[in-house]
Structure 1
Amino acid sequence: MNKFFGSCGVHQHLRKNEKNVFCIDCSLRLCRHCMTSHCLHKKLQICKYVYHDVVRLQEIQKHLDCSKIQTYKINGEKAVHLNSRPQSKDAKPSTKAKFGASCEACGRYLQDMPNRYCSIACKVIVVACHNYNSETNMSEMESSSISLAESSEEMNAWVCPALKPRRLLHKRKGIPRRAPLC
């Protein structure tokens, strides 16, 4: 995936040449100097928040359904993360969410219960897998020549890996062992 905030190759000699704008019409990353040739295009400004790329909710909602995505308040404005955020080592469920809501794609804990995704990328992954599964299921229903055993094997192969339940890893937990009596 392309990274934002890299320097623009065309405007290397100019100051403030970070690529922090995305042109929706051209699917390009732009710096502030490149924007003049895209003045009539739809654009999104990408911001940094704790070393992660975010976009203002007010801007992205015009182009994408951001419902069920965790929002954050940054300088008085709501924003959403572009990419999934890594899970912190000592992460615990939020005190607000009694049931420990987590992202359906990456498993990261979410602050608000009705939310199902931690970022735009996670929502896109889950929605794409859901659409792929529903299209494949429709084509299978139309062809009745596949046996039940074959179809169940294929259904398992079609399930998106992000939707499969994860095994909880307890790295430090194991069989209790006593210290030697030396």
Structure 2
Amino acid sequence: MVGYSLNLKMKRRPEWLETLLQSKFFGPCYDHHDLRKNEMNVFCIDCNRCVCQHCLSSTAHYLHKLLQIRRYVYQDVVRLQDVQKHLDCSKVQPYTINGAKVVFLNPRPHARPPKSNSGASCVVCERSLSEPNRYCSIDCKVSVVLEKLKNRSQFISFPIPEFGDLSAKENRNPEQNLKEDESSETDMSVGNGLRLNSALKPKKQLHKRKGIPSRAPLC
């Protein structure tokens, strides 16, 4: 996947993603409060801040990674094609606006109905979804993914082989340890040589014992 990703060492959201999900868009830009159409509806990933269209006209955000924020049913959404470059949005419920697919940044407020066996629902807020989607927004998926990664990191362990009492061996005379190591290596080489010779030694051919010859009957 191109762009940003989540790994096992990450226990919280990236800083830019945290800002994106917590920002209030479409408010007036403080740097261009005296200009028209100064709504902050663009998020700059590199600068980790909300900007307006007038901010983009300067060279400060030249070649920066930008996300255009849109509104759908009074909630903030982004185009799936744009955000997919930076986050894996698979199984997030998409919606179509003016021929383009969009996804919600945060879950929409709603009264949680009781779960039903028919149809899919968001694993976090239980909103009804269409198969095979499992999340109603980016925020819901990120929270679930980070929780899974956190649980996996807690259970990851590396087995340590048992070598016996190392402290007792360290306390011995170094010459004695060297003799023991040499004797163990000799025994091992002899054992390996015997097994190798027995494996390469041709097998004896077993001849079946002839039976007692039967004489012809007397005429």
What letter matches 1:16 in structure 2? K
Whether 2:90 is the aligned partner of 1:67: answer: yes
Q: Which residue of 1 aligns with 2:199?
A: none
Structure 1 residue 79 and structure 2 residue 97: aligned?
A: no
Q: Is 2:112–2:127's contact at 8 Å kept on the other side of the alignment?
A: no
Distance 2:76 2:48 in 1: 17
Q: Check if 1:101 corresponds to 2:120.
A: yes
Q: Spell out structure 1 runs of 4+ moving beyond 3 A.
A: 88-93
In the superposition, the TM-score normalised over structure 2's length comes to 0.58
- State the structure with more CA Rg: 2
How far apart are 1:91 and its partner, in Å?
A: 9.4
Between the aligned partners of 1:42 and 1:121, the Cα distance in structure 2 is 20
- The equivalent of 2:52 in structure 1 is 31
Task: Determine whether 1:4 maps to 2:25.
Answer: yes
Structure 1 equivalent of residue 147 of structure 2? 129
Alignment of 1:104-119 (within 5 A): 104-110=123-129, 112-119=130-137
Q: Is the Cα–Cα contact under 8 Å of residues 112 and 125 in structure 2 kept in the other structure?
A: no
Gaps of 5+ in 1: 144-182
Give distance in 2, aligned partners of 1:106 and 1:50.
Answer: 18
Q: Are the aligned partners of 2:112 and 2:126 in contact in 1 as well (CA < 8 Å)?
A: no
The offset of 1:8, in angstroms, is: 0.7
Distance 1:129 1:92, change over 3 A: closer
Shift of 1:89: 7.2
**Which residue of 2 is the match for residue 149 of structure 1?**
none
Q: Structure 2: 5+ residue runs without aligned partners?
A: 1-21, 161-219
SS of match in other structure, 1:25: coil
Secondary structure of 1:126's partner? helix
Q: CA RMSD in A?
A: 2.2
SS in 1 for 2:144: helix
Between the two proteins, the alignment pairs up a number of residues equal to 137
Equivalent pairs: percent with the same residue? 57
Q: Partner residue of 2:77?
A: 54
Q: Deviation string for 1:29-68 (max 9, x for gaps)?
A: 1111111220210101000011000001111111111100
- Pair 132,89 (structure 1): closer, same or farther in 2 beyond 3 Å: closer
Question: Which whole-Å deviations, capped at 9, do the CAs of 1:124-156 have from their partners, x for residues lacking one?
Answer: 1100111111111225x879xxxxxxxxxxxxx
Q: Which has the higher helix share?
A: 2
